[in-house]
Amino acid sequence: MNYKPKKIIKHREAKKLFQILIQELEKENNLNDRTLMIVDNIVLLEQLKQEHMDDIKDRGVVELFKNGTQEMFRENKSVDKILKIVEQQRKLQAELKLTPASEKKVTEAVTVDEFEAF
């Protein structure tokens, strides 16, 4: 079946991420309505992240802030928001079992050292 991102998704990077996630979930045979909902959320977060990155490109990491006669530099709030978005995306990817950590399988038996045997 051919899946497409929601119409609200306009950014090229977000659309590309949608296709990558759909391909991975199809490969794992884990594509259903619930996982598609999570993919939509990840892609929406990606679009927001790209918009914040564009803001940082325009205004920089710090911005000049004027309050009456006071002038000071303050951190662009988009920087902090990108970090929060990335963390939320990682959590959603972990739910879909699409993180490198979720690929690791515990195959080794737990060894008992001499102290625990005592």
Taking the C-alpha atoms of residue 70 and residue 78, their distance in angstroms, rounded to an integer, is 23
Q: Taking 50 as the threshold, does the pLDDT of residue 82 lie above it? A: yes
Both tokens of 37, joined, read 């909902």
Q: What is the arithmetic mean of pLDDT over 11-30?
A: 94
Q: What is the pTM of this model?
A: 0.78
**Confidence label for 109 from pLDDT (cuts 50, 70 and 90):** very low
**Confidence label for 63 from pLDDT (cuts 50, 70 and 90):** confident
Q: What is the arithmetic mean of pLDDT over 98-115?
A: 59
Identify the burial level of 24 via C-beta atoms within 10 angstroms of its C-beta, where 0-12 means exposed, 13-18 middle and 19 or more buried. Answer: middle
Q: Taking 70 as the threshold, does the pLDDT of residue 4 lie above it? A: yes
Taking the C-alpha atoms of residue 3 and residue 30, their distance in angstroms, rounded to an integer, is 14
Q: What is the arithmetic mean of pLDDT over 24-35?
A: 92
